Amino acid sequence: MSTLERPIHEKRLRSLTVELPPLPNFSCFHTAFRGRSVDARSQTRDGDTRSAFFLGYDKGNCEYLVMDETDQAMKGGRECVSAQFVIPYPPGFPILVPGQVISAEILKFMQARDVREIHGFRPELGFRIYTEAALQRSAQANAVWTAQINAQAEHG
């Protein structure tokens, strides 16, 4: 490696190993994906990742928003919900799972990343998120299911 290349290489290496932004905290599951394990109105972070994962198999339930569009949608009051795992490497740890609400903290983390390898995220397409209609349908189905379980518990 030449004397001109070494500082560039070392800077890049530091950005990948030492100067990593802190991992964002888990935000929460969208209410459409709560309730299979607990009451959907609960403040717990438990969620039904399986249902969220398989809902994403129908392309009609999903859309893509690039980072700036996601930021604007969130500022406008929309809850953007990930339809897939998003795993930056390093550190190789998921920062989004299917059904998880994208938070401002997660967006900030993604903007600070200096890597090309992010499983589940392509900058030219953006985040794969659920459409608002898909979330509404899923939330309604979840509410019906939760009501049935609660009714059975009261009578059984």
User: Where residue 36 falls among pLDDT bands split at 50, 70, 90?
Assistant: low
- 88 secondary structure, DSSP code: E
Query: For the segment 74-120, what is each residue's pLDDT rounded down to a tens digit?
Result: 999 999 999 999 998 877 889 999 999 999 999 999 988 766 788 99
* More confident call, 20 vs 126: 126
Q: What is the pTM of this model?
A: 0.79
> What angle (nearest 5°) sits at the alpha carbon of residue 72, between those of residues 43 and 77?
35
- Go through the domains of the chain in sequence order and give each one's CATH number: 22-155 (3.90.100)
User: Which secondary structure element, helix H or strand E, spans residue 129, and what is its range?
Assistant: strand 127-130
Q: Is 29 exposed, middle or buried (0-12, 13-18, 19+ CB in 10 A)?
A: buried
CA distance 129 to 84: 8
